[in-house]
Structure 1
Amino acid sequence: MARRAEQAAGRLLAEAGEASSPVDVERLAIHLGVVISRSAFKDGDVSGMLVRQDGQSPVVGVNDAHSRNRQRFTIAHEFGHLLLHPGREVVLDRPVRVNLRDKTSSTATDREEIEANAFAASLLMPADLVHMELQRLPAAVRQDPDHCTSALAAVFEVSDSAIGFRLINLGLVS
């Protein structure tokens, strides 16, 4: 599952010519033909959603009450759903497919959510760039876990916890 997500993220980055950090999610949206819509959601637990309707551009809705880094992760997460999952059909006046990202998305209990999170991590923090940026840090920073995490989070424009999990998943820290 994580391998499929990593491969799909790598393909998207290669197709779009994104080879440096931080990854430009707005440019990737244009590449994918996705409209990004930001607004404050009434339910503060919802970070974002993906809405797909036949014949129309997919829309990623993002809760703009959340931090910029969280919004970036949410957008990448929704791209994962777009490329990997069909979504759940909701019938309004016509069928629409929806994926929601809420507080349960990060708890690693739903296969599609786990895979979309793995996709987002792979997209925003590609393994080769993480290795490269880690080696660029001064030795003193690399040896201090908190400083290392904060420095890499700033480079990739993600949260400290996101880069922390990525470093663990890449086997770079225990």
Structure 2
Amino acid sequence: MASRAENMAADLLAQHDMDGAPVDVKCLAKLCGIVVVPQAFNDGDVSGMLLREDGRPPVIGVNTRHADVRQRFTIAHEIGHWALHPGREVIFDRPMRINRRDSVSAMATDREEIQANAFAAALLMPERLVRDGVRQLPLRTARDPEAAAAKLAERFGVSQIAMSFRLVNLGLAS
């Protein structure tokens, strides 16, 4: 049974007629009214953040010091926060809501981080497309979990580790 995060990711892809891989997360963010700002963060531990301020479009900041596949996952993760969570209010000179992705949140010990990671995985690696991709692999590649993850990761524009987790979570690898 699909989770709320997975269902919301699938709905968002369907709503914007995105049914192929790799998913263009920057385009999807734009279609959702979210501004993506690539930036080399001084803190290399921070992958990205989502900033929401009433009356302004949401902004996703993504660390350009990280690999492209990580940046894509971070953008998808922050879209997940946008879709699923209100964010924690922080007061600068006016109230704002922020979600941050760093090495602690990447460990997914917080419920919201787990949901945002599930959303990102479902957004970047939709179940139907992953299952189709596995069926299309040569039998020799499909039987080798590392080779299958590597080949599919390339097709979906994600890291091999992210694809390995997705294959395991979908019951397609052990």
Aligned to 1:143: 143
How do 1:79-90 and structure 2 match up within 5 A? Answer: 79-90=79-90
What does 1:14-163 align with in structure 2 at a 5 Å threshold? 14-163=14-163
SS in 2 for 1:37: strand
The runs of at least 4 consecutive aligned structure 1 residues that moved more than 2 Å come to none
Larger CA deviation: 66-75 vs 106-115: 106-115
TM-score (norm 2): 0.97
| Seq. identity, % | 57
Report the TM-score, using the length of structure 1 for normalisation: 0.97
Letter in 1 for 2:143: Q
Q: Deviations over 1:89-112 (max 9, x none)?
A: 111121110000000122121000
CA–CA distance in 2 between the matches of 1:142 and 1:6? 24
Return the offset for 1:68.
0.4
For the residues of structure 1 that align with 2:11 and 2:58, how far apart are their CA atoms? Answer: 19
After TM superposition, the structure 1 stretch with the greater mean CA deviation from structure 2, 106-115 or 46-55, is 106-115
Q: C-alpha separation between the residues in 2 aligned to 1:104 and 1:118? A: 16
The count of corresponding residues between Structure 1 and Structure 2 is 174
Give the Å deviation of 1:11: 0.7
The one-letter amino acid of 1:10's match is A
Quick one: distance in 2 between partners of 1:69 and 1:27?
16
> What secondary structure, in the 3-state scheme, does the structure 2 residue paired with 1:6 have?
helix
Gaps of at least 5 residues in structure 1 are none
Q: Which residue of 2 aligns with 1:166?
A: 166
